[in-house]
């Protein structure tokens, strides 16, 4: 995705109308960015939870 071309395309569209294409595209791009950041945050939280006990499950203590 080329951000500069998207930016120039958005500037060429009349954005004075609240229901314009530029506003719709901007809102959709923001929604995609928020969704992406939420999923990255969930993954980061899982990695941090696993790092608390890094050796958990790597050794088996067998004694009879």
pLDDT for 33: 92
pTM value surpassing 0.85: no
CA–CA separation, 42 and 30 (whole Å): 18
pLDDT for 52: 76
- In the chain, which residues have pLDDT < 70? 1, 8-19, 54-57
pLDDT for 17: 61
CA–CA separation, 6 and 8 (whole Å): 6
Question: By the 8 A CB rule, do 31 and 23 touch?
Answer: no
């Amino acid at each position: 995705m080329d951000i500069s071309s998207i930016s120039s395309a958005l500037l060429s569209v009349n954005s004075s109308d609240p229901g314009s294409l530029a506003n719709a595209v901007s809102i959709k791009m923001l929604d995609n960015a928020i969704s992406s950041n939420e999923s990255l945050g969930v993954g980061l939280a899982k990695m941090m939870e696993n790092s608390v006990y890094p050796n958990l499950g790597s050794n088996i203590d067998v004694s009879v």
